[in-house]
């Protein structure tokens, strides 16, 4: 078995683009598809079937620039698709070390994994942190392992706003706002939030939480389609506790996740 890391190769991509732009000078609107270079990190290159290791580290956000795509999320999706389309890849190992991030970005990554797993096993390993959006993304895996001391869970949604009305009064500052509708300046920090604003935001939080929790209870096959009471309040849990609560399938080290991926993919 060989283990490969799908790491970005910006230089190689630029050379590829440069070469093709010369070849396609008569059709400048045609652009070659971006790709990632495969770097062998374990085993040898003679193996017909290998495991692709993809890293999801840090905050999950569309605003974070990518190395090839427009964002780090786009980069991850490109890597997942490349591994899915590569016949030499027998399984994908997604290595997550993330406290979470944007819910839409997390949902997009989760969705991408669900498209792959019917045809190719997706093993997820939660390292130091795999919480909130990191755990949301992990739900797309066929098999989830976490380090015993990993911080995971945090199944919930939070929205916060800063209000500096009191500070403005001390400084003698005032704000004049012209708006087309009552909620156009939602959560304006220069004034107290209205009850209508609070209800609107809380309803949005509740709707998003319903989506998140429904994915968890479905993917983890919880009885009565309900989250365990131990995590329904949004708390974090350790990897060991997550296993006891059936939030994950196993605990272990990264090498154990690689071994599981090899076994699930039926590699020697």
- CATH code: domain of residue 117: 3.90.226.10
pLDDT attached to residue 14: 31
The DSSP symbol for 184 reads T
Return the bridge partners of 6, or none.
38
Say if residue 212 is in the same domain as residue 251. no
pLDDT attached to residue 12: 31
pLDDT attached to residue 37: 64
237 token code pair: 């849990």
Say if residue 192 is exposed, middle or buried (CB neighbours under 10 Å; 0-12, 13-18, 19+): exposed
Q: Given the residues 169, 179, 184, 211, select the one marked as catalytic.
A: 184
Q: Which of 143, 138, 149, 154 is nearest to 240 (CA)?
A: 149
Q: Which domain holds residue 188?
A: 159-223
Say if residue 175 is in the same domain as residue 71. no
What is the domain count for the chain? Answer: 2
Say if residue 127 is in the same domain as residue 219. no
pTM score: 0.83
Say if residue 146 is in the same domain as residue 257. yes
Burial 15-37 (b: 16+ CB within 10 A, else e): ebeeeeeeeeeeeeeeeeebbbe
Say if residue 258 is in the same domain as residue 205. no
Q: Given the residues 132, 142, 154, 213, select the one marked as catalytic.
A: 132
Say if residue 8 is in the same domain as residue 134. yes
**Annotated catalytic residue 132:** yes
Q: What is the mean pLDDT of each run of 10 residues along the chain (268 residues)?
A: 42 31 38 56 70 93 78 92 93 96 95 97 98 97 98 93 92 92 92 93 94 97 91 96 98 96 91
Say if residue 136 is in the same domain as residue 216. no
Q: Which of 93, 99, 100 is nearest to 253 (CA)?
A: 93
């Amino acid at each position: 078995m060989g283990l490969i890391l799908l790491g970005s190769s910006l230089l190689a991509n630029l050379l590829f683009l440069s070469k093709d732009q010369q070849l396609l000078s008569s059709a400048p609107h045609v652009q070659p598809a971006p790709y990632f270079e495969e770097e062998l990190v374990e085993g040898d290159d003679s193996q017909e079937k290998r495991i692709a290791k993809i890293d999801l580290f840090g905050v999950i956000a569309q605003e974070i620039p990518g190395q090839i795509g427009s964002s780090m999320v786009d980069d991850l999706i490109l890597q997942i698709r490349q591994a899915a389309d590569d016949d030499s890849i027998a399984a994908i190992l997604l290595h997550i070390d993330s406290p979470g991030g944007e819910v839409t970005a997390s949902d997009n990554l989760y969705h991408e994994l669900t498209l792959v797993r019917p045809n190719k096993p997706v093993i997820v390993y939660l390292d130091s942190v795999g919480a909130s959006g990191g755990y949301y993304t992990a739900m797309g895996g066929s098999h989830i392992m976490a380090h015993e001391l990993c911080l995971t869970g945090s199944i919930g949604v939070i929205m916060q706003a800063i209000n500096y009305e009191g500070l403005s009064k001390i400084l003698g500052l005032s704000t004049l706002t012209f708006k087309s509708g009552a909620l156009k300046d939602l959560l304006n920090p220069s004034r107290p939030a209205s009850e209508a604003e609070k209800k609107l935001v809380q309803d949005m939080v509740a709707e998003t939480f319903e989506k998140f929790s429904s994915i968890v209870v479905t993917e983890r096959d919880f009885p009565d389609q309900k989250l365990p009471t131990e995590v329904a309040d949004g708390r974090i849990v350790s990897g060991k506790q997550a296993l006891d609560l059936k939030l994950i399938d196993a605990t272990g080290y990264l090498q154990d996740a690689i071994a599981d991926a090899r076994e699930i993919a039926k590699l020697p």
